[in-house]
Amino acid sequence: MRTSKNISPILEIRDLKKSFGDKDVLNGFNLKLFEGENLVVMGKSGSGKSVMVKCLVGLIQADSGIIRIKEQDIEVLGRAELDLLRTHIGFLFQGSALYDSMTVRENLEFPLRRHKKQLKMEEDTESLVLEALKNVGLEHTLDSMPSELSGGMQRRVALARALILKPEIILYDEPTTGLDPITSKEIIQLMRNIQETYNTSSLIITHDVDCARVISNRMILLVDGINYAEGSFEELAKSQDPKVQAFFKT
Amino acid sequence: MTGSSNRIGAFFEEAGELVLFTGRFFAEVFKPPFEFKELLRQCYQMGNRSFLLVGVTGFILGLVFTLQSRPTLMQFGAESWMPSMVSISIVREIGPVIIALICAGKIGSGIGAELGSMRVTEQIDAMEVSGTNPFKYLVVTRIVATTLMIPLLVILGDSIALLGSAIIENLKGEVSFLLYFNQVFDALKFSDLIPATIKTFFFGFAIGLVGCYKGYNCSKGTVGVGEASNEAVVYTSMLLFVIDFIAVFVADIYYG
């Protein structure tokens, strides 16, 4: 893992600002994610974590600021270039966001059918789907519909779908929200296994302290739309700042 | 007064957004990659799932229209005009409008609810971040599918309506099927068929467009999905009558 400041980051946000009407959500947020790193961004509900991560992949247009992924400024990319860049990013949505009219197999095949040739993936679709499902321990659900799966299983299938194109960066938006403690631990363990197996760089948006403790190499606390504090879990947990302490006391 | 002006403002704002949405459709529809597989799937779904409804509606329409018109025509001794009158009425006006309204209720609301639910559960966002253009995959395919399938469903509905009418004539007026359909084909001209068929393409386009617009821009969670579905039907129904008026007006200038 490389986290040194002199290596160029795989993902960088500089002075990101976004407001909705009168409400300023992000007020100059900065972030650098290095190769192989697990970076956790923690913040209260409504602090702008999800807005930030959606700006990153171009789902929301930022008001100002620079977003660079793999040394490409996403603001200047055309549709085709942005779509190609997105194939290098896996995204796990808070609510799983599985296509509910498709089976698990079709959900996983969907990105493959479009980008397999473009990404020069030589393995056949079936084996790639099975490999992704095996990674999350759900090979037996291949022909099930998402509605037939539990919340935890849906999250794992969504994780398999995020991994199917073997992305270099994975963005996790509240990966453990809405899950029971045991399933949460399973998801966190899966995230660690994935990072070890594929050496992905992960940006994890969460307010789950347990998740942050287990998975993070580095953390950023997002308060009032800015980076309020930054450091390892242990460093932040020891902080005497009441705003920082508020995260760890809960 | 303020409430009324707000509503008028909101109407024009929505109309403007719908125009932009239409513009985006035309910008994307001719641009590769083309989603043929999804288009075929949508055509099959819309045609197959509406087949029975359109058939039954058309059949009852033909039966009822003939039963209701018969006594009046008999009063004038004009029963022999029944096949001509029924066929022209159904093919030119009643068939396309009724079938399109039925399809607005079934297909338009279905599209609004499906896309709305995909929007609020972030499935559209998931498609976008996987490097697929959701507008092309979900919207363009559905609008093209309705534009192609509604004319076919209308032709089917008209044919079954004429069959229903022929059955009543056969039972009540002892008119053979051969004689009935001979009179129908004698009465119908290209000037009846062509404008009526052309306008059904516009009906199909309107059904797909409004359903997709409402669903794709859905917000406010599950309540928003219900609203999207409901508004898709209401707006489409209004739009169908506007299109019908314009089509009849233009056809009257051209053929009149």
User: Tens of pLDDT along B197-207?
Assistant: 999 999 999 99
At A27 the pLDDT is 92
- Flag whether pLDDT at A44 surpasses 90: no
pLDDT mean over B222-229: 90
- Flag whether pLDDT at A85 surpasses 50: yes
**Residue in B closest to A56 by C-alpha:** B129
Provide CB contacts within 8 A for B185, sequence distance 6+.
none
At A250 the pLDDT is 58
Q: Using CB atoms within 10 A of its CB, is residue A107 exposed (0-12), middle (13-18) or buried (19+)?
A: buried
- Flag whether pLDDT at A2 surpasses 50: no
pLDDT mean over A82-108: 92
Taking an 8 Å cut-off on Cβ atoms, the answer to whether B131 and A101 are in contact is no
**Residue in B closest to A166 by C-alpha:** B130
- Measured CA to CA, the distance from residue A31 to residue A231 in angstroms comes to 12
CA quadruple A169, A159, B219, A13: dihedral, nearest 10:
-20
Scanning B110-139 for CB atoms below 8 A from A yields: 114, 117-118, 121-123, 125-133
One-character DSSP codes across B53-120: HHHHHHHHHHHHHHHHHHHHHHHTT-GGGHHHHHHHHIIIIIHHHHHHHHHIIIIIHHHHHHHHHHHH
Taking an 8 Å cut-off on Cβ atoms, the answer to whether B131 and A114 are in contact is yes
B82-128: pLDDT as tens digits: 999 999 999 999 999 999 999 999 999 999 999 999 999 999 999 99
Rg over CA atoms, chain A: 18
- Flag whether pLDDT at A188 surpasses 50: yes
A198-222: pLDDT as tens digits: 889 999 999 888 889 989 999 999 9
Residues in chain A: 250
pLDDT mean over A85-100: 92
Taking an 8 Å cut-off on Cβ atoms, the answer to whether B122 and A114 are in contact is no
The answer to whether ipTM exceeds 0.85 is: yes
**Sequence letter at residue A125:** T
At B2 the pLDDT is 67
Query: What are residue A72's phi and psi, to 5 degrees?
Result: -120, 130
Q: Using CB atoms within 10 A of its CB, is residue A90 exposed (0-12), middle (13-18) or buried (19+)?
A: buried
- Flag whether pLDDT at A37 surpasses 50: yes
One-character DSSP codes across chain A: ----TTSPPSEEEEEEEEEETTEEEEEEEEEEE-TT-EEEEEE-TTSSHHHHHHHHTTSS--SEEEEEETTEEGGG--HHHHHHHHTTEEEE-TT----TTS-HHHHHHHHHHHHTTTTT--S-HHHHHHHHHHHTT-GGGTT--GGGS-HHHHHHHHHHHHHTT--SEEEEESTTTTS-HHHHHHHHHHHHHHHHHH--EEEEEE--HHHHHHH-SEEEEEETTEEEEEE-HHHHHH---HHHHHHHH-
Taking an 8 Å cut-off on Cβ atoms, the answer to whether B129 and A114 are in contact is no
- Flag whether pLDDT at B186 surpasses 60: yes
Residues in chain B with CB shorter than 8 Å from the CB of A91 are 126, 129-130
pLDDT mean over A4-25: 85
**Crossing angle of the two packed helices B190-216 and B221-255, in degrees rounded to 10:** 160
- Measured CA to CA, the distance from residue B157 to residue B149 in angstroms comes to 12
A111-160: pLDDT as tens digits: 988 887 776 777 788 899 999 999 888 989 999 999 999 988 999 999 99
At A3 the pLDDT is 47
Which of A133, A54, A157, A208 is CA-nearest to residue B122?
A54
Residue B103 · residue B207 · CB < 8 Å:
yes
Which of A18, A7, A80, A94 is CA-nearest to residue A51?
A18
- Tokens linked to B163: 């069959």
The model's confidence at residue A92, banded by pLDDT at 50, 70 and 90, is very high
Mean pLDDT for chain A? 89
Q: Please name each of the domains of chain A with its CATH number.
A: 11-88+168-249 (3.40.50.300), 100-166 (no CATH)
- Flag whether pLDDT at A1 surpasses 70: no
The model's confidence at residue B6, banded by pLDDT at 50, 70 and 90, is confident
pLDDT mean over B218-238: 91
- Measured CA to CA, the distance from residue B112 to residue B106 in angstroms comes to 10
Is A57 part of the contact surface with chain B (CB cutoff 8 Å)? yes
- Flag whether pLDDT at A5 surpasses 90: no
The model's confidence at residue A47, banded by pLDDT at 50, 70 and 90, is confident
Residue B153's region, left for phi above 0, alpha for psi from -120 to 50, else beta, is alpha
Residues in chain A with CB shorter than 8 Å from the CB of B133 are 79, 83
Is A86 part of the contact surface with chain B (CB cutoff 8 Å)? yes
Is B170 part of the contact surface with chain A (CB cutoff 8 Å)? no
At B1 the pLDDT is 54
Query: In the β-sheet with A23-33, what is the strand arrangement from edge to edge?
Result: A23-33, A11-20, A64-69, A72-73
Provide CB contacts within 8 A for B100, sequence distance 6+.
B150, B154, B200, B203, B204, B207, B240
Taking an 8 Å cut-off on Cβ atoms, the answer to whether B121 and A99 are in contact is no
Which of B125, B135, B120, B118 is CA-nearest to residue A53?
B125
At A181 the pLDDT is 87
Q: Among A69, A84, A86, which would you mutate to test the B interface (most chain B Cβ atoms within 10 Å of its Cβ)?
A: A86
Three-class secondary structure of residue B212 per DSSP: helix
B48-73: pLDDT as tens digits: 989 999 999 999 999 999 999 998 98
- Flag whether pLDDT at B134 surpasses 70: yes
Q: Give the H or E element holding residue B205.
A: helix B190-216
Which of A126, A122, A97 is CA-nearest to residue A109?
A126
pLDDT mean over A2-19: 80
Give the one of B125, B127, B131 whose C-beta lies nearest to A87's C-beta: B131
- Measured CA to CA, the distance from residue B1 to residue A19 in angstroms comes to 32
Specify which residues A203 forms β-bridges with.
A39, A171
At A195 the pLDDT is 85
Mean pLDDT for chain B? 93
- Measured CA to CA, the distance from residue A163 to residue A195 in angstroms comes to 11
- Measured CA to CA, the distance from residue A172 to residue A52 in angstroms comes to 12
Residues in chain B: 256
pLDDT mean over B214-237: 91
At B241 the pLDDT is 96
